[in-house]
Amino acid sequence: MESFLGYLKDTPVAPGAEPVRVPGEGGAGTSARRHREGITVRAFTWDALRRLADDLDVAMPATTA
């Protein structure tokens, strides 16, 4: 299977076409990016989480923004 995936990835892409992707590849990239860059949480959602954390006496995580 590994050699077949290598063959797919090494095959030249037609002009204007997207590279071949395999199942799970998009999700793996998204997961890696989110681990590296974090995720965006809307202000109203963050405020609701903060209120819930206060009610439960739980510390909120640090933010980067």
Q: Quote the pLDDT of residue 20.
A: 83
Mean pLDDT split into 10-residue runs, the chain, 65 residues:
86 90 86 91 94 96 75
Q: Quote the pLDDT of residue 61.
A: 86
d(CA 1, CA 22): 12
pTM to 2 decimal places: 0.49
d(CA 32, CA 28): 6
d(CA 39, CA 28): 15
d(CA 55, CA 65): 23
Q: Quote the pLDDT of residue 65.
A: 62
